Structure 1
Amino acid sequence: MPKQSAAASSILRWLAGATMVAPATLIVVVLFVYPFFSSLIGSFQDDKHNFTSENYTHVIGTYYGDIVFTLVICLVSLVLVLALASLLAGWLRLKADPFIEFLFKIPLFVPFVVVGHAMRVFLAPHGTLNSLLASTGLFNPDSLPSVAFSTSGLIVALVWKNIGLTLLLVMGAFRGINSSYLEAARNTGAGSFRLIKDMMIPMSWGTISVAGILTFTSMIGNFSIPAMLGDGGGSQMLMIDLYYELVYRHDAGAANAIGVVSYIASMGAAIYYVKKVAKS
């Protein structure tokens, strides 16, 4: 009886645990696992569902430059987001300023499509930014450069949109650092920048890495901002290419191949993220 009771108790615990994780598992399966394998299979099929590798040949041959362009844009934007978020989070940790903190959390609540439109208006050739500069009388409004519809405009918009979430994660890690460590460093002559660079960032590197991974995957899969701020005649980000293949060329195989390439680009970051979560 004791053995049967222990076995029954173990089964009940297993069922309880399975019941608790079932909703989250179902969401992952429906929203990620199934679409991924569906795209993977579709990327090796032609219009008649015959096996082929021509989709990848077409994607690599046609969009190789766009793949590199997307990775460069995302990596540059990621470095800027992490640097700004780390410095700002460190400053807020040392000198709390609720108003500044609130300002940088605003992007969290703004949809990507709204960010794209707002930046398009703000950074346009005769947009808000150039109008403000021209109003000072120091600049010729016709000679001011346009930041919108350029690589710089894409980077500015991606950085602004992603700074809120990254700041929130990094700031939580910085605030978890024992104040006695910071006070000890101050007593030895460390200034604010040294405290951030040599103490806060190294002690919170795990959280910063996870924040970077989430930010990178968000950037590489973004469509609205590149659609509104990208250069129509130059290099495009991968989601624009995917849209073009699916909507204009009606080539689902090539679109699936671009999706798989995007998955692969994010896979290294995702694997690191999973390992980090598992360890914690």
Structure 2
Amino acid sequence: MPMPKKDSEILTRNFTYLENNIDASHLLTFLFQRFIINDEDMTRIGKIVNRTARNTELLQTLLHRGDRAWSAFIAAMRDRGYTEVANDLFLPNNVNVSNPNLVPSVVSPRLDGGSENELTLAVYQQSYRESGEASAYTLRSVRTPANVDLQEQINIVSDENEQLKVTIEEKDQAIAEKDQTIAEKDDTIIKLNQEICSLNDKIERLQTEENKNTQKITELRKEVATLQDEVNKRLLKLEKGKSQATQTPNFQ
């Protein structure tokens, strides 16, 4: 299934940048655990010796891994130490969507020209989905009268920036904790699967033993039936012998 157009456009636009700034081998396990790639993908990509070629193969694979591939790829980079690279993908020149319902965070302020009586203080905002994964940057403009101390306005925005950075850090921490919980659950699932396999092996051995015992019982029943027939024949022969002895005249 192809990646959604808005995601594939960002990936394609930054293809060369990603080829040169990540190492796919660091991301494979994370993406495998999120069911974005399969074991064949891991083996194929992991065997590629050249880092750039390895990155190219991963990126091309992600383009065909459906709706969740992009968000999982971003999460993988953040989890494996490529946070700066992930953030760069959402700089303003990469904006192609804007959702007012998403939680904003101020990234960097700049000044835009306004009318004679006012200035425009523009602030780039990074949007977050409910899952905590970054989705896009949007532009928010704060208009202020020109006669107001601009430094005061910048200080206000800077304070807001710091507060929102704290919020981002808290969200990142929450995401890390969730990832840890998922990893622990994955380990538990692996252990349970191992126990199930062990139990299945025991059941198979018991069934094999049961089949052998059933076969032995069948053979013993046949032997008993054969012996019973032999006993019956001998008893019949003895009875005939007694009968003949009784009917034979005594010539004494």
Q: TM-score, normalised by structure 1?
A: 0.26
- Structure with the greater alpha carbon radius of gyration: 2
Instruction: Please identify which structure carries the higher strand content.
Output: 2
Instruction: Please identify which structure carries the higher helix content.
Output: 1
- Give the structure, 1 or 2, with the largest relative contact order (CA under 8 Å, sep 6 or more): 1
Q: TM-score, normalised by structure 2?
A: 0.28
